[in-house]
Chain A
Amino acid sequence: MQDAANLSEYRKQLREALENEFQREALDKFAVAYRTSRANAFAGIDAPELINEIAVAKDEAVDHLMELYEEFKRHAEAAGTKVHLAATAREANEIIAAIAKENGVRTIVKSKSMTAEETHLNDHLEAQGLEVTETDLGEWIIQLRHEGPTHMVMPAIHLSRYQVADLFTEVTRKKQDVDIQKLVKVARRELRPKYCQADMGISGANFAIAATGSIGIITNEGNGRLTTTLPRVHVALAGIDKLAPTLHDALRIIKCLPKNATGQNLTSYVTWITGAVPCAVGPEGKKVHHVVFVDNGRLAMAKDPLFKQALRCIRCGACANVCPIYRLVGGHKYGHVYIGAIGLVATYFFHGRDKAKNLVQNCLNCGACKAVCAAGIDLPTMIKEVHARIQDEEGHPLYSSAAGMVLKNRTLFHTMLKSARVMQKPVAGGGYLRHLPMFLFKDHDFRALPAIADEAFRDRWEKIRPRVAKADIKVALFSGCVQDFVYPEQMEAAVAVIASKPGVAMEYPMGQSCCGLPLMMMGEKKAGRELAAHNMNAIDAAGFDYIVTLCASCASYLKHGYQRLFADDPAMAYKAAQFAHRVMDFSSFVHDVLGMDQEAFTGPSKDVTYHAPCHLCRGLGVTEAPRELLRDAGLNYLPAAEEDVCCGFGGTFSVKFPELSKELLHKKINNLKATGATAMATDCPGCIMQIRGGFEHEGTTFEVRHVAEYLAARLKRG
């Protein structure tokens, strides 16, 4: 439960979390195992198609929640279920407490429900003097420890068997062995009497089927079945977004959810309950059955064109499983109640700005969550959007609005960069900034920072531009700030590679500026739009066949981000689409468009490994082009473990959360070294800055270069 008052307190908590070695090791192991088990579970299944079907069906349902509610209510009540709709979390809790009172309930057993966590139901019921016992093993463990879950599917993943044994020793007042199989049996037998005594069972519901008034519950342990069977009263609590038109919608989700959650084909139990079923201890031999739907902002969210997507969520937890930050700090620090990427979004809506404002900044924009989401939710974009909204509501921090002001004014920004070059003189050496006044860069001494180049690419362009007599393909080069001012040699290499093919005319439109991604990362949406408009003006897309960039982040932002920025402005949307259609990353352009292959290159073999930039492999879906180019250039490409996991740069992220950036960089460096190579290629200057700086800082000689540089060095001269 993340609830730091401000960013520095949050960072302090993150540092503490980093020191929790057991948790880090557990989450590391899980992250690695999950990849394989998910892939195995989906073998032979068209996962993207299934996910797309789920997304389409969910969107359709979200547009008709109230109609679905009425339909559900009609059918369920005909079958003897009482149906409620609570506007707020508190109202939901009060309804349930009233049901308890009306039925003379004293003890309650509960099966797992994230919605009940959302409404803090247990606290409410306990305050009324009711005894509530969680029966899901993980939930019971954390209930006994008085803490919240650290994963939506595996709530106690942060705890070791030793901690559980100690806890159970306390509960049973008998010494327990540190043996997982035995501990599970102890829980089985300790919890059994709780079911027998309970007057009421509370469950969640994964589905509420409007056409029949039925609910569906997914569990592995079977506690859901006992909870809904033994006590005489059963209350199911569900977000109103759990309504689905038909059973088919539920079956479709079931085909995906367990596979996506833990790589399990199907959970042990799927329970379908319709109406008041027989119950020997209930009035007239029937169960007292209630379904409580909670709105808590969902109906308003359903009308928000951007955020309605969040209501697609089926709570599989995968967006945490793959998140590099979750993996480092765990669920208590990476969510309030809801955890992982969806937690960063949902917290703002369900638990308020205060709980969300620090949390929402802790995202690399690496896109790993989006790539696995069972409902195809564009999580990174929504996270940034929440951040922007919070800033609009609370006021923008000074550094953030200042950055907005500077970046959207190209002349001012570039003048500042050039004067920075002059000012760095005394501390720059060998291409890195040396002897930085460290008080300015506290916590940033985990990587060497590059110096600004003597001459920016834009100032070299006239001297190096190739003259082409007859142009078959017209290309506009987009350099991005880093390659323009820090690594102009990467741009020069690219120009040499492209120019080796006849008939390609290149232009470098001088008016271009920063792509604007840093502003989006900082939640400066308005300045970002102005900057995007500026670039689309500076590069008249209609005059070019391609807009090529060597920076994966720029490429992915120019291609997808610009269209999102202008989605609600028809005139600009057209321009943005025209622009986006022409944007291509360097490796794809050279490989797919120019068709360069081994014929073009020469040189001795050499081991080289690769880092797949987030914005290339996930942002643009480009995976093969750079690897094939490396092989074609005669290099011996050695794949690294977790090649597509973020290096920890994340642009402004690494400035805000240096301690996390550092850990991710360490992992990356270790994986690269483990290949045995001493050279690495990649497609993004940001990643190069991070990884090269990391090697430089630890004093390891390791060549880190852009794919373009390797290709340029191996061009056949002729």
Chain B
Amino acid sequence: MSTPPALVDRLKEKAGLVSAVVASVASMDEAIAYVADVCANKEACQILASGCDAPLSDTAEALCETKQQKIVCAPDLPEEDVAKLTALCQERGIAVITKGMRGRLGGIDIAVTMAAAGIAETGTVVVRSTDEEVRLATMIAETHIALLPESAIVADSYDFEPTLVSWMGEPNYTAFITGPSRTADIERVLALGVHGPLEMHILILEGK
């Protein structure tokens, strides 16, 4: 059964409203190319752009210096897709990793993960994060790109309820992610990327 286009549009609209970038791609290969492009075009470290010149305390500086090269982490992509992504990135001097996030807490450029579901009502993606690498990658990366099979889009959180309940039968960590990390704690002014990603992309895999 194919997903009604109205549902896809609604997800796009709602995700757009919370500053997520949403695009449709025809194949996994296209998605991988997209990821490599975003990483290549991205400034080395956006935190720098928003003020690495900003003076920090010495411990915070030290952590920042652990990062030397552009990095993409793809903790839960199928192996062959990781291989393709690695090949594409290598040409551009970008490292692709699938684990070891605890050694990269200073920051990485991109996390690319699968999304188990999309919730149209709120522009949300559901990311299975029981694997610690997924959890960390999607928080530490400056940009999170979630690959969402079109058929996994549901209208409303209630539609996703039975699946989540079944996951909760054993130790589980699941995240509903709606746009990038944000705060309005200073003067109610919106600022993105307070602890997690500054950017959130959703790639809808058409026909999947």
Per-position 1/0 for B135-178, Cβ under 8 A of A? 11001000000000000000001100100110111111111111
Cα separation A135 to B196 with both chains bound (whole Å): 12
Do B185 and A136 touch across chains, with their CB atoms under 8 A apart?
yes
Cα separation A267 to B18 with both chains bound (whole Å): 10
Task: Known A184-B183, A278-B131; judge A193-B17 contact (CB<8 A).
Answer: no
Taking a contact as CB atoms closer than 8 A, the residue among B17, B56, B123, B170 that contacts A275 in the complex is B170
Q: B191 interface residue, CB < 8 Å from A?
A: yes
What 6 pairs between A and B have smallest CB-CB spacing?
A174-B55, A222-B196, A275-B171, A138-B185, A212-B168, A270-B176
Do A79 and B171 touch across chains, with their CB atoms under 8 A apart?
yes
Residue of A190, A269, A275 with most chain B CB atoms under a 10 A cut-off? A269
Closest to A155 in B: B185
Min CB gap B129→A, angstroms:
8
Cα separation A220 to B123 with both chains bound (whole Å): 15
201-226 of chain A: CB within 8 A of chain B: 209, 211-214, 220-223, 225-226
Min CB gap B139→A, angstroms:
5
Cα separation A247 to B162 with both chains bound (whole Å): 9
Not counting A188-B193, A192-B60, A272-B174, a sample of 9 additional A-B residue pairs whose C-beta atoms are within 8 angstroms of each other reads: A138-B183, A185-B47, A185-B193, A186-B51, A226-B139, A268-B18, A268-B181, A273-B172, A277-B173
Chain A residues, Cβ within 8 Å of B55: 172, 174-176
Residue of B51, B130, B180 with most chain A CB atoms under a 10 A cut-off? B51
Taking a contact as CB atoms closer than 8 A, the residue among B14, B17, B186 that contacts A159 in the complex is B186
A to B CB contacts below 8 Å, 8 in the list: A156-B185, A184-B191, A188-B194, A196-B63, A220-B183, A221-B182, A228-B173, A266-B123
Cα separation A113 to B170 with both chains bound (whole Å): 26
Do B181 and A274 touch across chains, with their CB atoms under 8 A apart?
no
Cα separation A209 to B132 with both chains bound (whole Å): 22
Chain B residues, Cβ within 8 Å of A274: 167-168, 170-173
Min CB gap A71→B, angstroms:
13
Do A221 and B194 touch across chains, with their CB atoms under 8 A apart?
yes
Q: B195 interface residue, CB < 8 Å from A?
A: yes
Chain B residues, Cβ within 8 Å of A146: none
Per-position 1/0 for A251-269, Cβ under 8 A of B? 1001100000010011111
Q: B122 interface residue, CB < 8 Å from A?
A: yes
Do A251 and B158 touch across chains, with their CB atoms under 8 A apart?
yes
Do A188 and B51 touch across chains, with their CB atoms under 8 A apart?
no
Chain B residues, Cβ within 8 Å of A281: 102
Q: A154 interface residue, CB < 8 Å from B?
A: yes
Do B56 and A190 touch across chains, with their CB atoms under 8 A apart?
yes
Taking a contact as CB atoms closer than 8 A, the residue among B18, B123, B187, B196 that contacts A160 in the complex is B187
Q: A271 interface residue, CB < 8 Å from B?
A: yes
Cα separation A638 to B181 with both chains bound (whole Å): 43
Q: B41 interface residue, CB < 8 Å from A?
A: no
Q: A497 interface residue, CB < 8 Å from B?
A: no
Do A214 and B168 touch across chains, with their CB atoms under 8 A apart?
yes
Chain A residues, Cβ within 8 Å of B106: 192
Taking a contact as CB atoms closer than 8 A, the residue among B63, B178, B180 that contacts A266 in the complex is B178
Chain A residues, Cβ within 8 Å of B68: none
Cα separation A417 to B138 with both chains bound (whole Å): 72
Chain A residues, Cβ within 8 Å of B168: 209, 212-214, 247, 272, 274
Q: B59 interface residue, CB < 8 Å from A?
A: yes
Q: B7 interface residue, CB < 8 Å from A?
A: no
Min CB gap B198→A, angstroms:
9
Chain B residues, Cβ within 8 Å of A171: 57
Per-position 1/0 for A409-425, Cβ under 8 A of B? 00000000000000000
Taking a contact as CB atoms closer than 8 A, the residue among A26, A186, A276 that contacts B56 in the complex is A186
Min CB gap B195→A, angstroms:
4
Do A187 and B194 touch across chains, with their CB atoms under 8 A apart?
yes
Q: B54 interface residue, CB < 8 Å from A?
A: yes
Closest to B191 in A: A184
Chain B residues, Cβ within 8 Å of A265: 14, 17-18, 122-123, 178
Closest to B62 in A: A193
Cα separation A174 to B53 with both chains bound (whole Å): 11
Per-position 1/0 for B83-99, Cβ under 8 A of A? 00000000000000000
Chain B residues, Cβ within 8 Å of A175: 55
Min CB gap B130→A, angstroms:
6
Closest to A211 in B: B165
Chain A residues, Cβ within 8 Å of B195: 135, 188, 191-192, 221-223, 226
Q: B105 interface residue, CB < 8 Å from A?
A: yes
Per-position 1/0 for A266-305, Cβ under 8 A of B? 1111111111111111000010000000000000000000
Q: B189 interface residue, CB < 8 Å from A?
A: yes
Do B57 and A172 touch across chains, with their CB atoms under 8 A apart?
yes
Chain B residues, Cβ within 8 Å of A470: none
Do B158 and A248 touch across chains, with their CB atoms under 8 A apart?
yes
Task: Known A181-B191, A278-B130; judge A247-B165 contact (CB<8 A).
Answer: yes
Q: What total of chain A residues lie within 8 Å of the partner, measured CB to CB?
A: 82
Residue of A175, A277, A286 with most chain B CB atoms under a 10 A cut-off? A277
Do A225 and B47 touch across chains, with their CB atoms under 8 A apart?
no
Do B139 and A225 touch across chains, with their CB atoms under 8 A apart?
yes
Taking a contact as CB atoms closer than 8 A, the residue among A33, A174, A272 that contacts B172 in the complex is A272
Per-position 1/0 for B7-21, Cβ under 8 A of A? 000000010011000
Give chain B's interface residues, CB within 8 Å of chain A: 14, 17-18, 47, 50-51, 54-57, 59-60, 62-64, 102, 105-106, 122-124, 130-132, 135-136, 139, 157-158, 161, 164-165, 167-189, 191, 193-197
Closest to B164 in A: A247
Q: A137 interface residue, CB < 8 Å from B?
A: yes
Do A273 and B187 touch across chains, with their CB atoms under 8 A apart?
no
Cα separation A225 to B167 with both chains bound (whole Å): 18
Chain B residues, Cβ within 8 Å of A286: 171
Cα separation A164 to B183 with both chains bound (whole Å): 14
Q: A183 interface residue, CB < 8 Å from B?
A: yes
Chain A residues, Cβ within 8 Å of B54: 176-177, 182, 185-186
Min CB gap A263→B, angstroms:
11
Chain B residues, Cβ within 8 Å of A442: none
Do B157 and A251 touch across chains, with their CB atoms under 8 A apart?
yes
Per-position 1/0 for A333-355, Cβ under 8 A of B? 00000000000000000000000
Q: A145 interface residue, CB < 8 Å from B?
A: no
Taking a contact as CB atoms closer than 8 A, the residue among B64, B164, B186, B191 that contacts A189 in the complex is B64
Min CB gap B179→A, angstroms:
5
Task: Known A161-B186, A212-B169; judge A229-B135 contact (CB<8 A).
Answer: yes
Chain B residues, Cβ within 8 Å of A566: none
Do A225 and B158 touch across chains, with their CB atoms under 8 A apart?
no
Cα separation A33 to B188 with both chains bound (whole Å): 11
Do A267 and B191 touch across chains, with their CB atoms under 8 A apart?
no
Closest to A265 in B: B122
Chain A residues, Cβ within 8 Å of B177: 268-269
Cα separation A352 to B118 with both chains bound (whole Å): 46
Cα separation A33 to B106 with both chains bound (whole Å): 37
Do B56 and A192 touch across chains, with their CB atoms under 8 A apart?
no
Do B185 and A189 touch across chains, with their CB atoms under 8 A apart?
no
Do B50 and A268 touch across chains, with their CB atoms under 8 A apart?
no
Cα separation A171 to B58 with both chains bound (whole Å): 11
Task: Known A80-B171, A174-B55, A222-B195; judge A268-B180 contact (CB<8 A).
Answer: yes
Task: Known A171-B57, A186-B54, A271-B175; judge A266-B124 contact (CB<8 A).
Answer: yes
Cα separation A146 to B60 with both chains bound (whole Å): 22
Q: A195 interface residue, CB < 8 Å from B?
A: yes
Taking a contact as CB atoms closer than 8 A, the residue among A177, A209, A255, A269 that contacts B175 in the complex is A269
Chain B residues, Cβ within 8 Å of A247: 161, 164-165, 168
Cα separation A136 to B196 with both chains bound (whole Å): 12
Cα separation A160 to B189 with both chains bound (whole Å): 11
Min CB gap B200→A, angstroms:
8
Do B139 and A272 touch across chains, with their CB atoms under 8 A apart?
no
Q: A57 interface residue, CB < 8 Å from B?
A: no
Do A267 and B178 touch across chains, with their CB atoms under 8 A apart?
yes
Do B194 and A190 touch across chains, with their CB atoms under 8 A apart?
no
Min CB gap B19→A, angstroms:
10
Cα separation A138 to B11 with both chains bound (whole Å): 30
Residue of A138, A225, A278 with most chain B CB atoms under a 10 A cut-off? A225
